[in-house]
Structure formats: structure tokens, C-alpha cells
Amino acid sequence: MVLKFVDEYRDGKLANQYAEKIANLATRPWKIMEICGGQTHSIVKYGIDQLLSPLVTLIHGPGCPVCVTPQSIIDLAIQLASTPGVIFCSFGDMLRVPGSSKDLLTAKAEGAQVRMVYSPLDALQLACDNPDRQVVFFAVGFETTAPANAMAVYQAKKQGIHNFSLLVSQVLVPPGVESILSASYHSPHESIHGLLAPGHVCTIVGYREYENLSCKYKIPIVVTGFEPADILQGIAMCIAQLEQGRAVTENQYTRAVNRKGNQQAKAIIAEIFEVVPQVWRGLGRIPASGLKLSLAYRAWDAEYRFSLRAESEEVKSECISGSILQGVKKPYECSEFGRNCYPEHPLGAPMVSSEGACAAYYHYRRGSQKE
Ligand code: SF4
């Protein structure tokens, strides 16, 4: 397939050809999990799951960093934003993620200093412009956001800017994927047969780690892009492996991803951060699945600078985001979906982010009988 323009990746005729290919390939039931929320969004928006053979089921995984950010970190963000002399900066998608009692937008309405920015370097500039204030940037995301966050801290140190810091909640995808694969591998019931790995994360880190996972859990993994033709081709590659009894990692997203990843991006991440255990909302603590600022850059760590400690436990509520993020349940199986939980009034993070599975189903499948 040689395609040049984004419209070509959304071509209905091509999508139907791939759907037909998948139907011809599949001879028994297969469950494929897509990890990335961007892929989930495309699948639901374009009805890709409804195009597929009834033998192929798509399971939506935990690939939305907003959705997996723990409630305790949101509480710390609100605490910081409410601290006199602090300007708290964040991307817009974090502002409405519920903490244990409120979200950042509510805190802002109550007088907290919350600013929406488009880049960590915007926050760094704000620190330069306000030398008498402490500026904290909410560093949330997968490996995709880590290089820019690392660069902001690198620049802060280089330029001697000491009124800037990061509140870090960076998660690493492969350990999160491994936790799900391990559970599936040891369960006779909820088995995942194949995986679509997130193309954008692999542009940074490559896919060698996924090769290890394929080998260890005997599962085909296909690094996949985000457009309908990408996703359908990724599914077809996965089904072909399953039908042939193979289990290796392949790369559908060759126009952006190579095996080793982006060496410069990986180098700046390794320079600024160290790998630590991380709590994922709904999934719990996963070893070696997060990043924190390393010792040499600890002075720019907001938790260290303000002597903060995440105290609050996950609040039990009617939200079943844990089951949604593990692909065990679909959003419409939540009793709150569309009733008490909707984008203007989210009860859980998967309804906040545009990449969250609940928000995707709300926008594109609400009221549909065949969800
Ligand atoms: S619909 Fe709302 S309450 Fe239900 S799982 Fe999704 S975010 Fe949580």
C-alpha cells in the first residue's frame, strides 16, 4: 500500500477491501486489543469494529494517559494550584479530570492559579516572566510527551531558572501492556489473542520491547497507526499471524516508526528521568512503569520542592474505569454511561479525555442499539 495523503488513509473503498481481507483470513474467534486511545477514537468514530467479521472482536486498552493518571496526583495538582505564589500550568485535557473532591477547573473557579498552556516551554517562559512566582507544569503523558518535558527541565537548569518545576505523572506503555498481557496469559477466560501497539509511542522508543513481549506471551503484536486504513491493515496483519500460528512483532506504521526509535528523544529522556514504579488509575501500581526526575534534576521536581506526598487513596465510586481500561467491559456496560456521566459531567477520566473510551462511545455511539 503506497499512500501519500491523509484522505487516502480514510478511503471507504480501501477500508472495505481490508475488512474483506480480514473476513477471508479469520476462521475462528479472535480478540485483538488496541492499546492507544487515539486508535480507540478512530475505531469508534469510523465504525471500524462494525465493519469487521463477527469472528474478530476489538478490545479497548488503557492507552490514554489522561485516563490512567491517578486521582492522588490530581489532588496534588489542586493542592499546588491553591498554594499562594504558585502558578500551575497544564494542558487543557487535564483540567476536568476528577480528583477525590474536585477538578482543576473547579479549583480555578474558586481562585486557584491555573493556566492552560500548549507546551512545557510556554510554562518555562511564564517562569522567566514571573521571577517572583513559582511556576509548576503538569507533566503528564506517555513516552510521547516525555522528551518535551525533559527538554524544559534541561533548559531550566542550563539557564539557571529556579522558579520552574514539574509535577510528574509520566507513564511507560510497555510495562502497562505487560501487566495486561500477563493477566490475560494466565486467565483461561479473558484471553487477548493479538495486540495493536501504539504507533506514536513507538516513534519515540521503537519496538524492541514489544518483540520481547511477543516472545514471552506468545502473542502477535503489530505497531499500528491511527487512520482507518492503518488500523484495518494492522488488524489484518495480526489475524494473518494468528491463523498461521506465528507470534512476532511487526510494524504496520513504517512511515513513522523504526525498530530503534528516536535516539535523540531517548537520550534526553534518559538524561533527565529515571524509571520508577507508577500507579495507573484503574490498574494499580505497576513496577518500572513510570518516570520521575533523576537525582541531578530533583531541584526541578515539584513534589520535592514543595515537600508533597500523594496521600489520598483512589476513591471508590460508581465509575468502573478500571474494567474499561483493562478492556474487560465496554463503556455502555457502565450503569452511569450517558445517565449521570457525560462529557460535561464526567464521573471518571475515560469520559474526560477525547481519547477516553467512554467519551468516544458517548460522542459516536450514544443511543445506538448495536453498540
Ligand atoms: S461512563 Fe463514566 S462512570 Fe462509567 S466507566 Fe466511563 S467514566 Fe466511569
Query: Terminal CA-to-CA distance of the chain, rounded, Å?
Result: 31
67-172+261-305: CATH architecture? 3-Layer(aba) Sandwich (3.40)
Q: pLDDT tens across 229-286, in order?
A: 999 999 999 999 999 999 999 999 999 999 999 999 999 999 999 999 999 887 889 9
Ligand 1 in reach of 229 Cβ (< 6 A): no
pLDDT exceeding 70 applies to what percent of the chain?
96
Whether the pLDDT of residue 313 is over 90: the answer is: no
* Count of all residues that appear for the chain in the document: 371
C-alpha–C-alpha distance, residues 50 and 273, integer Å: 42
Specify the domain boundaries for CATH 3.40.50.11740 within the chain. Answer: 67-172+261-305
Q: Confirm if 355 and 40 have CB atoms less than 8 A apart.
A: yes
| Local structure of 342: helix, strand or coil | strand
pLDDT band at 67 (very low <50, low <70, confident <90, very high): confident
Q: Confirm if 231 and 22 have CB atoms less than 8 A apart.
A: no
Ligand 1 in reach of 199 Cβ (< 6 A): no
pTM for the predicted model, two decimal places: 0.91
Strand partners, 158: none
Specify the domain boundaries for CATH 3.40.50.11750 within the chain. Answer: 6-61+173-193+209-248
pLDDT band at 311 (very low <50, low <70, confident <90, very high): low
Q: Which residue in 63, 54, 8 sits closest to 33, CA to CA?
A: 63
Instruction: Determine the residue of 66, 337, 339 to mutate for testing ligand 1's pocket, defined as the one with the most ligand atoms within 8 A of the Cβ atom.
Output: 337
Whether the pLDDT of residue 153 is over 90: the answer is: yes
C-alpha–C-alpha distance, residues 55 and 22, integer Å: 10
What's the whole-number average pLDDT of the chain? Answer: 92
Could you give the residue ranges of the DSSP H alpha helices within 88-172?
A: 104-109, 120-129, 146-159
Nearest CA owner, ligand 1 atom 7: 348
Whether the pLDDT of residue 352 is over 90: the answer is: no
Whether the pLDDT of residue 4 is over 90: the answer is: no
Place of cell 513507538: 202
Ligand 1 in reach of 356 Cβ (< 6 A): no
Q: Confirm if 18 and 246 have CB atoms less than 8 A apart.
A: no
Q: What is the pLDDT of residue 369?
A: 45
C-alpha–C-alpha distance, residues 81 and 107, integer Å: 8
| Local structure of 341: helix, strand or coil | strand
pLDDT exceeding 90 applies to what percent of the chain?
75
C-alpha–C-alpha distance, residues 366 and 371, integer Å: 8
Distance 102 CA to ligand 1 centre (A): 16
- Distance between alpha carbon 156 and the CA centroid of its chain, in Å? 27
Q: Which top CATH class is 6-61+173-193+209-248? A: alpha beta
Ligand 1 in reach of 347 Cβ (< 6 A): yes
